[in-house]
Amino acid sequence: MRLFAEIGASGRGVDVRVLQYGVTRARLREVLEEAEGWDVIHVSGHGLPGELELERADGSPDPVTSRELGDLLWRARERLRLVTVSACWSAAMTLAEQRRLLRLPVSAEARGEPDAGPEAGAAGGLASELTGRLGCAVLAMRYPVVDGFAIGLAERLYGLAADKGQPVARALGIALADPRVVADPPTPQCPALSGVTPALFGARAVGLTLAAPERSGPVSYDVRVLKLARFPAQPERFVGRTSVMARSSAALAPR
């Protein structure tokens, strides 16, 4: 949010929406159905191979398979150009799926893995499913990620792509070569595998650019229309309150 606010303040046209706490399927669907649509969707959360965790109305986890996530994001497909899934194992295939592709027998134990069921999609893994279903580029993670690396990567990547006009593939390469993103030597906030964790999928990724256009109209800074005007800055870290925040969000909802 801070990065895109700076880009917008320099005269570029950007619109950012953040869904945080109580991100249910219904709430996500409402945003994706907005007529203007979205160029980029960035998902940050927990997951397993072929599965992502959203929330239910009571704050409990709601596992969403790769096919179900594709169904949700399908509403934004006409304008959508990049989906970033910064979740553990978002680009990974299960052992069962890899053995199927190699035409090897699949054990009963492997068939019990999270995305080995028929609802997970023939391609296996969130990245493959979203690329095939939506026709957009997908940036996904092959190994678990930690907050420090995920935040540094996103800030550098979107700064290069949206502000500097670098193609997404080149922006990713520059970001992963930046010692401020990939620590050398490794640290707890940037483990050794971090540099080879992000992967771009889809033919759409070739030559894809996301430069923010020049702003076409004036922007109002009237405090009556600004969200959270005069509120203190958001804290750097606020964890362990998901259930409380989900209930608060429901209590403050329009209905």
Higher-confidence residue of 90 and 207: namely 207
Q: Which two tokens stand for residue 84?
A: 């970033």
pLDDT recorded at residue 116: 40
Q: How confident is the model at residue 26 (pLDDT cuts 50, 70, 90)?
A: very high
Task: With a cut of 60, say whether residue 111 has pLDDT above it.
Answer: no
With contact defined as beta carbons under 8 Å apart, do 29 and 17 qualify? no
pLDDT recorded at residue 209: 96
pLDDT recorded at residue 121: 34
Higher-confidence residue of 95 and 192: namely 192
pLDDT recorded at residue 92: 64
Using CA atoms, how far residue 1 sits from 18, 35, 78, 108, in Å, is 8, 22, 24, 45
Instruction: Specify which of 30-44, 82-96, 218-232 reaches the highest per-range mean pLDDT.
Output: 30-44
User: The domain 2-251: what is its CATH number?
Assistant: 3.40.50
The rounded percent of the chain whose pLDDT value lies above 70 is 80
pLDDT recorded at residue 131: 92
The mean pLDDT of 155-177, rounded to a whole number, is 96
Q: How far apart are CA 244 and CA 241, in angstroms?
A: 5
Task: With a cut of 90, say whether residue 178 has pLDDT above it.
Answer: yes
- Round the CA-based radius of gyration of the chain to a whole number and report it: 19
pLDDT in tens, 208-234: 999 999 887 766 656 555 666 677 776
Task: With a cut of 50, say whether residue 119 has pLDDT above it.
Answer: no
Higher-confidence residue of 253 and 111: namely 253
Q: How far apart are CA 17 and CA 105, in angstroms?
A: 45
pLDDT recorded at residue 45: 84
Q: Which two tokens stand for residue 242?
A: 């998901």
